[in-house]
Amino acid sequence: MEKIIRIADRIKETRNITPNELEELLTTDDEQGIEYLHSLARTTAHEVYGNAVYIRGLIEFTNYCRNDCLYCGIRRSNTNADRYRLSTEQIMECCRSGYELGFRTFVLQGGEDPYFTDERICAVVSGIREKYSDCAITLSIGEKTKESYQKYFDAGANRYLLRHETADDEHYRRLHPREMSLSNRKQCLWNLKEIGYQVGCGFMVGSPYQTVKTLYSDIQFIRELNPHMVGIGPFIPQHDTPFAKMKAGTMEETLRLLSVIRLICPRVLLPSTTALGTIHPQGREKGILSGANVVMPNLSPVSVRKKYELYDNKICTGDEAAECRSCMERRMEEIGCHVVISRGDYAE
């Protein structure tokens, strides 16, 4: 126990970690030591944000994608995917109902869909910005040119989520098709930050071929980028992908990495993801108790939720937005946290 405590304290003090320390934290069976790690991360989050949990309204507006990432259920090669696109009117209706429920951040997430040109994305963003001026608008629509990112920003987008997935070149190539590159992925993140977005990166925990070495590269890239948000969640296989038979990531490893990221980046906005809730009934609560401070209930129409199947057995596909919101508030209150109605900006 004392060894894990020393490691956790040193991470918080130095905001860094060594490869050996990371391996020790990921492999130890010292439950008391790991509980100290989670407690320290939880305290660190409270020092910056109090017991606030920020909610983001997730709108999954298209499951078309030009990419063919080997782990993703909406990859272009998946001919079994039931494709859909929300209309501008449907997106605005999601925002309307979300606003009434207390959401002050809308997250527009989708595949890299060529139908949604810069003009169409800007029209949606500016429409939301005009009607809900007190809300933050987050985009999560993949790799674009710097010029495109600038257009979205000028139209009113505030934040951009782009998981780097892995910061190790060889690992990246094993997860993605040949036409994609880690260097471009990273450049997109730097471009977004230069424009002025609040930027989020992240990775899957337990993805195929991941090692302590690749995870260490992820953490060092996060330290270098110094993002406003980091999204991590367990890898969960999807049955229509080349990784269908691969082993899923674990809740335990995800929670340990959430705590490490909180200690290294004390002010970061750190979601407890739907994927975490999918692999364990209390996964999202456990994520918050390990240092996370953001949850993202789904505002998408119930009719399309099962179609946005990045991975198997995704939760909350049948809930109405109001059910998601009230359920999340109750769950957070049960662990001593408070869902707040605000944009939930990064604490500078």
Q: Is 84 exposed, middle or buried (0-12, 13-18, 19+ CB in 10 A)?
A: middle
Alpha carbons 168 and 219: distance in angstroms, whole number: 11
How confident is the model at residue 322, as a pLDDT? 81
Q: How far is CA 230 from CA 56, 58, 100, 257, 324, in A?
A: 14, 16, 27, 11, 22
Closest-CA residue to 330 (of 291, 297, 290, 292):
297
Closest-CA residue to 138 (of 324, 296, 321):
296
Query: What pLDDT, in 10s, does the model give residues 127-165?
Result: 999 999 999 999 999 999 999 999 999 999 999 999 999
Q: Is 246 a residue whose pLDDT tops 90?
A: yes
DSSP 176: S
Query: What pLDDT, in 10s, does the model give residues 279-292?
Result: 999 999 999 999 99
Closest-CA residue to 4 (of 38, 40, 33):
33
Closest-CA residue to 78 (of 256, 339, 294, 312):
312
How confident is the model at residue 32, as a pLDDT? 97
Read off the pTM: 0.97
Whether the CB-CB separation of 154 and 117 falls below 8 Å is answered with: no
User: What is the average pLDDT across 255-280?
Assistant: 97
Amino acid at position 202, single letter: G
Alpha carbons 329 and 197: distance in angstroms, whole number: 28
Q: What secondary structure does DSSP assign to 276-330, as a single string?
A: HHHHSTTHHHHHHTTT--EE--B-S-HHHHTT--SSTT-S-SS--HHHHHHHHHH
Query: What pLDDT, in 10s, does the model give residues 29-76?
Result: 999 999 999 999 999 999 999 999 999 999 999 999 999 999 999 999
